[in-house]
Structure 1
Amino acid sequence: MWRKKIDRIIPKVREEIENPSPDVSRIDNHDIFVLCQYLRGLGIPKNIDEDQLEDIFYHCYEQLEDILLDEDGDTLSEDEAWSQFIEVWPKIRIPKGFSFQKAVDKAKKMDTPLEIEIFSDERLILLGKVCYQLQLMVGDGLFWLSGYDAGKILGISQPRARRFLKTLVDQEILELVKSGNRRKASEYRYLPALEYEARTLDDTLGLDL
Structure 2
Amino acid sequence: MTDLRRALGDIHAIRKQVADRTEFRGYGPVAVTCTGLFAVIAAIAQPYLVPDPSHMPVRYLAVWFAAATLSLVLSAITVYTRSRRMHSGLSDEMIRMAAQQFVPSVGAGLLVTLVLVFAVPQGVWMLPGLWQVIFSLGVFASCRSLPKTMFAPACLYLGTGVAAMALGDARALSPWVMGVPFALGQMLIATVLRFDGAVEEDVDA
Task: Please tell me the TM-score bracket, short chain as reference.
Answer: under 0.3
Q: Which has the higher strand share?
A: 1
Q: Which has the higher helix share?
A: 2
- Give the TM-score normalised by structure 2: 0.26
